[in-house]
Amino acid sequence: MPDVLDRTVGPFALAPTTVPDERAARRTLLDQVARLESELSQLFCSTWPRTHMPRPQVAGRGGGPRLLSLEELEELRDELAGRVADARRALSDRTWVEEQNRRLIEEMLLEPERHKWVRVSHEDIGEPGCKHWHVRPRWSFIGMLMGWWRVVISSGCPLAT
């Protein structure tokens, strides 16, 4: 037994003599890339019309359109998966903040005196447009002194100049 364990073999004695077929692996990787690209597109569309969201970009491999090697396909798949996860996390964080802002608007409308000068815009709740809710005193200083607060809703975007 020790003879067998100790037997030395040449460096290439155990190397396979056939080249492994990459086809199945390549097909799987291409399918995964397609699915991840689809998810990335969906996430990108979900972020619209929000601005200031990180753009999940995956750089090209360089060299124009070409048949990528197995390693490059794996790298591409991993990078896409990373970007999809990042984008999903960023969107989730953002929608959580927007939900809090929606709740804040409801609280402002119910009890304006407890949210003096608070202002929430459409952008803060992930909607397009320039509308905003602003807690302001009724009749300026008199309202401030008397505690008469109300929510003023803007009428929209200013006209383009």
CA-to-CA distance for 96 and 33, rounded, in angstroms?
29
Is residue 63 a contact residue for another protein (CB under 8 A)? yes
CA-to-CA distance for 160 and 154, rounded, in angstroms?
16
Binding residue (CB under 8 A) for another protein from 39, 58, 108, 120: 58
Q: Which of these, 90, 92, 58, lies nearest to 75 by C-alpha position? A: 58
Map residues 71-110 to x or -, x wherever contact with another protein holds by CB under 8 A.
Answer: -x---x---x------------------------------
Residues in binding contact with another protein, number by CB under 8 A: 29
Nearer to another protein, 39 or 133 (CB): 39
Binding residue (CB under 8 A) for another protein from 2, 10, 20, 64: 64
Provide, rounded to whole angstroms, the least separation between the CB of residue 60 and another protein: 4
* Phi, psi dihedral angles at 48 (to 5 degrees): -65, 135
DSSP character at residue 19: P
Q: Which of these, 60, 66, 65, 74, lies nearest to 30 by C-alpha position? A: 74
The token pair that represents 56 in the structure block: 């999940």
Using only C-alpha atoms, the chain has a radius of gyration, in whole angstroms, of: 29
Is residue 158 a contact residue for another protein (CB under 8 A)? no
Binding site for another protein (CB under 8 A): 23, 26, 30, 33-34, 37-38, 41-42, 44-45, 48-49, 55, 57-68, 72, 76, 80
